Amino acid sequence: MKHFIIPDFYKSPIISRVKEIRKVNDPRKKDYSPTLLDFGPVKFYIARHFGFCYGVEHAIETAYKAIEENEEKRIFLLSQMIHNPEVNNDLLKRGVKFLMDTSGNQIIPFEDLTSNDIVVIPAFGTTLEIEKKLNNIGIEVRKYDTTCPFVERVWKKSEKLGQESYSIIIHGKYNHEETRATFSRSEKDAPAIVVKNIEESKIIGEYILGHVSDEDFENKFKGRYSENFDPKIHLSRVGVINQTTMLATETQEIADYFKKIMIEKHGEAHIKDHFADTRDTLCYATNENQEATYALLKTDANLAIVVGGYNSSNTSHIVELCEEKLPTYFISSAAEIVSQRRINHFDFKNHEHLVSDNYLPENTEVKIILTSGASCPDSVIDSVLQKILSYYPNAKSIEQVLAELN
């Protein structure tokens, strides 16, 4: 797999070293068990897979290359490069400006752009409509297009489904940049509709079976399907694709559900006429991070700390998995750790910031799961680990613990 050049300040002396050791010892990525960093009074279980993935490293390399190659030009990001505040803030400090926010609301009008400007397309990709606007201005869209190749693979699958006369069910968050881009590509080739989860999928399934009215269907999905979408016609032959950062297990559950519905409606002998197998749209990095999280949850940890941007979809899913088993604190950086007794963290389900006291157990050996989403730099994880470690003056040194791993 291609190696990308990312700034050294995103790397770290601890986490990057742990990753390198695991890479050497497990080059085929067969072992999902976590790495134990045993400092004595505090122990960290570090996920086998987390942090920058292929698509994120590609995006970061391209963004910094755009800055380096265009010192005299204005440089714009279509929206956030990736969903991580550390990365986006550093780009802003270097003079890069955002054209839109993550919801697609305009910050700088396209009318203010000229053909001499540089626009960087984020890892999530963009819609055909926006791409056309930029092309009409004369901007070289492809020059600094950082769209993740795994997102593009989903687009190719949607195109193939359309060519084979399937309607497309997209598992994703409707307002997410990637889902908006995928929906734009999908509706070009076929009728398309977005579902957020298995519960929404079941409403569509019940409609297919005749148990939900047209009115109830319209009330639930209005604004989330392509123009001229007719559920009576277009839900008779479907394929499922996904926003690549969704839970892989949930995407598979949704696909399996629609397959079951089509068998119930049309019979197993005719399933290929009504359902397309699309499991290969799942992103390898998202899947690896989620599998590594399941392995983390087999440990005897007291709590989990998950680090990443609060609008990061893949990070929120890791938080969701951890919350099912143990106290979990979703933080954006070490700055959220106020003291040994207090931590600021984010409730992504209710979109609110929380403050918790006594998050670290007292008078006992502390065991902490530490991981992040695919857009979090190793250096940020490093700073979280070192801040917590500072509360334990009798802990073994970092050098000693890392030496024990070799």
Active-site residue numbers?
178
Q: What is the DSSP string of 233-270?
A: HHTSSEEEEE-TTS-HHHHHHHHHHHHHHHHHHH-GGG
Q: Are 55 and 151 in contact (CB under 8 A)?
A: yes
Coil, helix or strand at residue 121 = strand
Spatial separation of the C-alpha atoms in residues 125 and 134, rounded to whole Å: 13
Spatial separation of the C-alpha atoms in residues 194 and 37, rounded to whole Å: 42
Length of the chain: 406
Count of other CB atoms within 10 angstroms of residue 203: 16
Spatial separation of the C-alpha atoms in residues 191 and 164, rounded to whole Å: 12
Q: Are 41 and 395 in contact (CB under 8 A)?
A: yes
DSSP-derived pairing of the beta strands 303-307 and 328-331? parallel
Both tokens assigned to 210: 């005749």
* Number of DSSP helices (H) and strands (E) in the chain, helices first: 14, 14
Q: What angle do CA 308, 8, 372 make, to 5 degrees?
A: 20
Long-range contacts of 249-254 (CB under 8 A, 24+ apart): 249/290, 250/171, 250/197, 250/198, 251/171, 251/281, 251/282, 252/279, 252/282, 253/198, 254/169, 254/171, 254/195, 254/197, 254/198, 254/201
* Closest alpha carbon to 201 in 244, 240, 245, 243: 240
Q: Are 44 and 370 in contact (CB under 8 A)?
A: yes
CB half-sphere exposure, 354, CA atoms < 13 A: 15
Q: Are 56 and 123 in contact (CB under 8 A)?
A: yes
Q: Is the dihedral of CA 373, 374, 375, 380 positive or negative?
A: positive
